[in-house]
Chains A and B, each alone.
Chain A
Amino acid sequence: MQAALRVSDTFAPATLDNVIALPAKTQSTQATDQSTLMPWGEGQEEGLTRPAPVQPVKPAERSLLRFITCGSVDDGKSTLIGRLLFDSQVLLDDQLAALKKDSAKSAHTDGEIDYSLLLDGLAAEREQGITIDVAYRYFSTPRRAFIVADTPGHEQYTRNMATGASTADLAIILIDARKGVLAQTKRHLQIVSMLGVRHIVLAINKMDLVDHSQARFREIDQAFRQHARDTGFTTLISIPMSAKLGENVRDNAPSMPWYTGPTLLNVLETADVAASASQQSARFVVQWVNRAGADFRGYSGALVSGHLSPGDKVRALPSGQTATVARIVTFNGDLDQAVTGQAPTLVLDRQIDVSRGDVIVADDGTAQASRRFDADLLWMGNAGYDPSRALLLKIGAKSVPVRLDTRDMTVLNITTGARVLGNALNSNDIAQVALEADTAVVAERYADSRELGGFILIDRETSETVALGMVKDVVTAAQAAEPKGEAEDANPATHTRWITKPADTRWRSFAKAVSWRATGSVDTFVLAYIFTGHVKTAAAISVTEIGTKIFLYFFHERLWQWLAIGRQDKGSKD
């Protein structure tokens, strides 16, 4: 009770961690259990649990939320978005009239309004009653502006779902209350997690078809949370719904008095989704070398992280040459400072080697170009991966030939959640694999930069996009040269993995000390015996020495681990 009250007071969703970390309770305490499981709790007094009415915000100050619907085929995703648009009163008269007309004509309804027709805009979709490709809708309420991508549930169109998910801040995962968690639900869960979506609304839909049963709702909620346990979400909120009847979409449903949490619209209007990418250092992706006349040479591109001002020292990668920013040119005049997201034209103080696809970075040593990296991959080609076909990597504005190194590749088994070694990739497979590009590119961990951490693979022959991927770890030239086992010891938590030198652990230093001592002591014993002729004296010297010198060797070894003298710094330049 306590926890639920606190959470509802601030209207901040509970975190997944504190939700699933709770000990399991018995049936008799279920009411309390449920109120802690549900961030807003069930069965509480209304005044305490319902969020305060939202205050209108001036259009210019409205924040933007990008969200998607996903889940298995026919779970009601398009219907839900249609209903949300309808209830938010953003539909115009002619759109409503068309909806009524289309619903009457549709073979998939019995004359009732079919809200999914607002989204399923392709003839084939209407004919088959399924979604094939993502529909984007733009709407706003007095509180917030929204871009929603309604994605297809059908497995064949998973790539379209991933397209929609790549830019989402929040995902609504739908489950048909009659069916529960399905394989496709799990696949979508994996994909949104991999793409870095950290806020989930679990919409347990079609409650009207399960007698609005609270027990069924709980059962599915708990099963889903089991699966979501390791997927790294910050918030996960479950809502029982009927998309078709509009229950808990905008308004609370009298048919489910046991649910007193927020409605879907409440959550969407108030979800706090601060940007997660953490890279703060300047990265400017060069898209086009701008030569206006004989005197002007600039680089038009996108500042994907950090900021830049005239006078800043920068380095172009992969060439590694340095320069100073002279001007930041835009159509509306020069800027004193360019901030993340802007797309100006940089003029440097000297001629250096920069072409399309290169990255101009702050000269602070935090970026470098590399050829090899580990990545999460979603294979999207209709045909599976074929090692004989040439692939192109597109990352930032750069396209380079690339090869998959499948020796250590693992492929996710959607049903069991296990990652299995394998070298085959079929359509919709999720894998972890190493990539090796023909030339060095600037890649960063996806967790640090979506812009330089997300990439696509293109089949060079068909020009089709066959995979999307997210960089997990960048392997530098220095590391690539090390024996393989050593490179893998590096701590994946530090994105500057390439700065870390392969170092001995304390344990290893100690083991080395012992093995060296054993050899050394035998040597000492033999020498002492030769010089003194006494077995006993020789044994006493060598045994005493074992203790003292293991001790001395260990500290001597740690001291050298710590000293940098005489080490070759292969990591800093390519």
Chain B
Amino acid sequence: MTTLSHLAALEAESIHILREATAEATRPVLLYSIGKDSAVLLHLALKAFYPSKPPMPLLHVNTTWKFREMITFRDQRAKEVGMELISHTNQDGIARNIVPFGPTAGIYTDVMKTAALKQALDLHGFDVAFGGARRDEEKSRAKERVVSVRSEAHRWDPKNQRPEPWRLFNTRKQPSQSLRVFPLSNWTEADVWAYIQAENIPVVPLYFAAPRPVVERSGTLLMVDDNRLPLLPGERPQTKVIRFRTLGCYPLTGAVESHAATLPEIVAEMQGARTSERQGRLIDHDGAASMERKKQEGYF
């Protein structure tokens, strides 16, 4: 009997999840964060419903601090695939001038990401939201179900998750509840890159090494994407050949020095890597339980 390759099996599993949750949703949405995982998730959604278009819009929670190249890529990609794109920004946060540095840095993620996401989901009445999170990203993610039930306040209760045997997903919910669904749960970073390569999936050019302006701040290389990032005394942007393993808000995302400018080079570099991709995400560094806390409060 023919058995599917590892990647083909992962793909089939993700497609299965996308269809199961969509079929039983009232108003599904695909959370599109523009990174590599979102790129794979979008590609899988296109496959799952082909020849129909995925019966859901894309939602981007825009903090206004994303790399400019990400926004250009986002708009182009949405046009190519012909899906509706909803971009949501927490206007209250803008009014209060919540920025990712200085005194507001501590509440930035809560206001501009978590609260913004909740606003958008409530505003449009989305009851099922697909996200590209993977269990191998982080210890508390490793504990999350594929179909994750959220309360009215979008809270995750990690101590009381539904059992999820085989691939029988219980997608029923109370009227007040909503679901976060993670079709890429069982993928690793290596799988994602191997799949991007195999399927020729477009990704933001920032993943590929190029000379870019950076400053080094407490051991992290930050790209100076525009003139909104206040430079500390003595900091002067230098041009280095860098790339990103993960993409988010530019003042919070560390770059790596690398010459990997093609997919095969990226895959090879990752196989030799001695640090995890989350090393580059400044949001995760405040304590072991911080991601769990953010998730409990409704963060993806």
Report which A residues bind B (CB closer than 8 A). Answer: 60, 62, 64, 92-95, 98, 102, 118-124, 126, 132-138, 145, 147, 159-160, 162-163, 166-167, 195, 275, 280, 287-288, 290-292, 296, 298, 300-302, 307, 329-332, 339-343, 345, 356, 380, 392, 394-395, 397, 399, 450-451, 454-456, 458, 462-465, 468
The 3 nearest A-B residue pairs measured at CB: A121-B139, A166-B165, A463-B172
For B23, give its contact among A163, A167, A287 (CB under 8 Å): A287
For B166, give its contact among A159, A167, A296 (CB under 8 Å): A167
- Residue B52, interface by CB 8 Å: yes
A166 to B163, CA, bound (A): 10
Is A288 in contact with B22, judged by CB distance below 8 angstroms? yes
For A397, give its contact among B5, B20, B279 (CB under 8 Å): B20
| Minimum C-beta distance from A290 to chain B (A) | 6
For A291, give its contact among B6, B52, B168, B185 (CB under 8 Å): B52
Residues of B within 8 A of A145 (CB): 6
Given A137-B142, A300-B49, verify A287-B165 contact (CB < 8 Å): no
A345 to B15, CA, bound (A): 11
- Residue B288, interface by CB 8 Å: yes
List 22 A–B pairs whose Cβ atoms lie within 8 Å, in order of A's numbering. A60-B6, A64-B6, A64-B9, A92-B275, A93-B274, A119-B142, A121-B143, A121-B288, A132-B159, A135-B143, A136-B142, A167-B165, A287-B23, A290-B49, A291-B52, A329-B51, A339-B1, A343-B12, A395-B168, A456-B163, A456-B165, A463-B170
- Residue B127, interface by CB 8 Å: no
A118 to B136, CA, bound (A): 12
Is B163 in contact with A380, judged by CB distance below 8 angstroms? yes
Q: Which of A121, A134, A455 has the most CB of B within 10 A?
A: A121
Is A450 in contact with B170, judged by CB distance below 8 angstroms? no
A512 to B141, CA, bound (A): 68
Q: Which of B12, B138, B278 has the most CB of A within 10 A?
A: B12
- Residue B123, interface by CB 8 Å: no
Q: Which of A62, A292, A343 has the most CB of B within 10 A?
A: A343
Is B288 in contact with A126, judged by CB distance below 8 angstroms? yes
Is B275 in contact with A331, judged by CB distance below 8 angstroms? no
In the complex, the chain B residue whose C-beta lies closest to that of A394 is: B168
Is A341 in contact with B165, judged by CB distance below 8 angstroms? no
Q: For the A-B complex with A94-B275, A121-B138, A138-B186 known, give 10 more contacts whose Cβ atoms are closer than 8 Å.
A: A62-B6, A98-B288, A121-B142, A122-B159, A123-B288, A136-B135, A145-B6, A331-B47, A392-B172, A397-B20
Residues of A within 8 A of B275 (CB): 92-94
Q: Report the count of interface residues on B (CB-CB < 8 A).
A: 58
Is A302 in contact with B16, judged by CB distance below 8 angstroms? yes
Given A291-B52, A397-B20, verify A133-B166 contact (CB < 8 Å): no
Given A98-B288, A126-B288, A287-B23, verify A339-B2 contact (CB < 8 Å): yes
- Residue B3, interface by CB 8 Å: yes
Binary interface encoding of chain B residues 220-239 relative to chain A, with 1 for a CB under 8 A from any of its CBs, else 0: 00000000000000000000
Residues of B within 8 A of A301 (CB): 19
Secondary structure at the B interface, as helix, strand, loop or mixed, is loop
- Residue B111, interface by CB 8 Å: no
Residues of B within 8 A of A135 (CB): 139, 142-143
A458 to B166, CA, bound (A): 15
In the complex, the chain B residue whose C-beta lies closest to that of A150 is: B142
A120 to B143, CA, bound (A): 9
In the complex, the chain B residue whose C-beta lies closest to that of A340 is: B1
Residues of A within 8 A of B262 (CB): none
A168 to B292, CA, bound (A): 26
A330 to B288, CA, bound (A): 42
A118 to B288, CA, bound (A): 11
A345 to B159, CA, bound (A): 38
Is A345 in contact with B50, judged by CB distance below 8 angstroms? yes
- Residue B173, interface by CB 8 Å: yes
Is B143 in contact with A287, judged by CB distance below 8 angstroms? no
- Residue B72, interface by CB 8 Å: no
Q: Which of B19, B135, B188 has the most CB of A within 10 A?
A: B19
- Residue B85, interface by CB 8 Å: no
Is B170 in contact with A465, judged by CB distance below 8 angstroms? yes
Residues of A within 8 A of B274 (CB): 92-93
In the complex, the chain B residue whose C-beta lies closest to that of A396 is: B168
In the complex, the chain B residue whose C-beta lies closest to that of A303 is: B12
Is A458 in contact with B158, judged by CB distance below 8 angstroms? no
| Minimum C-beta distance from B8 to chain A (A) | 8
Is A341 in contact with B4, judged by CB distance below 8 angstroms? yes
| Minimum C-beta distance from A285 to chain B (A) | 9
Residues of A within 8 A of B162 (CB): 464-465
Residues of A within 8 A of B142 (CB): 119, 121, 135-137
Is A397 in contact with B161, judged by CB distance below 8 angstroms? no
Residues of A within 8 A of B141 (CB): 121
Binary interface encoding of chain B residues 257-300 relative to chain A, with 1 for a CB under 8 A from any of its CBs, else 0: 00000000000000001111011000000001100110000000
For B5, give its contact among A60, A94, A291, A330 (CB under 8 Å): A60
A300 to B181, CA, bound (A): 19
In the complex, the chain B residue whose C-beta lies closest to that of A290 is: B52
In the complex, the chain A residue whose C-beta lies closest to that of B4 is: A341
Residues of B within 8 A of A397 (CB): 20, 23
A475 to B113, CA, bound (A): 53
A166 to B158, CA, bound (A): 20
Residues of B within 8 A of A120 (CB): 139
Binary interface encoding of chain B residues 84-105 relative to chain A, with 1 for a CB under 8 A from any of its CBs, else 0: 0000000000000000000000
| Minimum C-beta distance from A21 to chain B (A) | 31
A147 to B2, CA, bound (A): 21
Residues of A within 8 A of B48 (CB): 300, 343
Binary interface encoding of chain B residues 181-222 relative to chain A, with 1 for a CB under 8 A from any of its CBs, else 0: 000011010000000000000000000000000000000000
Is A300 in contact with B166, judged by CB distance below 8 angstroms? no
Is A137 in contact with B143, judged by CB distance below 8 angstroms? no
A126 to B52, CA, bound (A): 46
A120 to B159, CA, bound (A): 12
A307 to B2, CA, bound (A): 10
Residues of A within 8 A of B158 (CB): 122, 124, 132-133
Is B136 in contact with A342, judged by CB distance below 8 angstroms? no
A329 to B164, CA, bound (A): 30
Residues of B within 8 A of A456 (CB): 163, 165, 168, 170
Residues of B within 8 A of A60 (CB): 5-6
- Residue B174, interface by CB 8 Å: yes
